[in-house]
A and B are shown apart, each in its own frame.
Chain A
């Protein structure tokens, strides 16, 4: 095999071998490996104390989370984590979560049935 073909083959092999790597090994930016991230369900066991096991909270002090938009929950947790949004308990809670865990727990709550809905006039008139 000539040098050009060898180079091309090696380059292709390297290129192909670096595709398809799982994203789980990425760092969240706070210096720890996210590959050991807990599932959304596991993380939510801590949240359930205030927000309810099914994302339906028992007290008006804590918002319902069931069915809320995932991207909204992610942003809320990020803002609590970095202090942009101030709340004594939530700053602490979100501070323990990595970015991957924030996304996981947000997706978990977003998928919960029987929760929040987009307001509609027809619904309100019932």
Chain B
């Protein structure tokens, strides 16, 4: 278990450098995103699983996902199309906007 934790931490430290995000700018830029991600329990027609909840998610993770969609490394026709229009700063701002919506605290377990 310890080796697994260390392996996780090592991998987490790679590739997370990104532009600083401004949630106020992100609010404006995320209008399109809210069309799907802002509707409770929304599913696309295809693929038909529910669009993920983004409120409170780590900004860095959202940026990673957007980059993966933009590069085509991660598949999803709509998301690839959406992400292809975003600059790195756009991604950082949008991600900061969603991340700031809710402060999710890791409490003692």
Number of contacting residues on A, CB 8 A?
39
Report the Cα distance A44→B104, complex, angstroms. 19
Select which of A63, A72, A75, A121 is within 8 A of B58 by beta carbon. A63
Assign chain B's interface to a size class: 35 or more
Q: Is there contact, CB below 8 Å, between A120 and B16? A: no
**Residues 40-69 of chain A, each 1 if its beta carbon lies under 8 Å from chain B, else 0:** 000000000110111011111111101111
Q: For the complex, give the distance between the alpha carbons of A67 and B97 in Å.
A: 19
Check A88 for interface membership: any CB of B closer than 8 A.
Answer: yes
Question: Residues on B close to A: CB < 8 A?
Answer: 1, 4-5, 7-9, 11-13, 16, 23, 27, 30, 33-34, 37-41, 43, 47-61, 73-75, 97-98, 100-102, 104-107, 109
Chain A at the B interface: mostly helix, strand, loop or mixed? loop
Other than the given A57-B106, A84-B75, 16 more pairs (CB < 8 A) read A49-B5, A52-B109, A66-B104, A69-B41, A69-B53, A71-B49, A72-B52, A75-B49, A85-B74, A114-B104, A116-B52, A116-B53, A118-B41, A119-B30, A119-B37, A120-B38
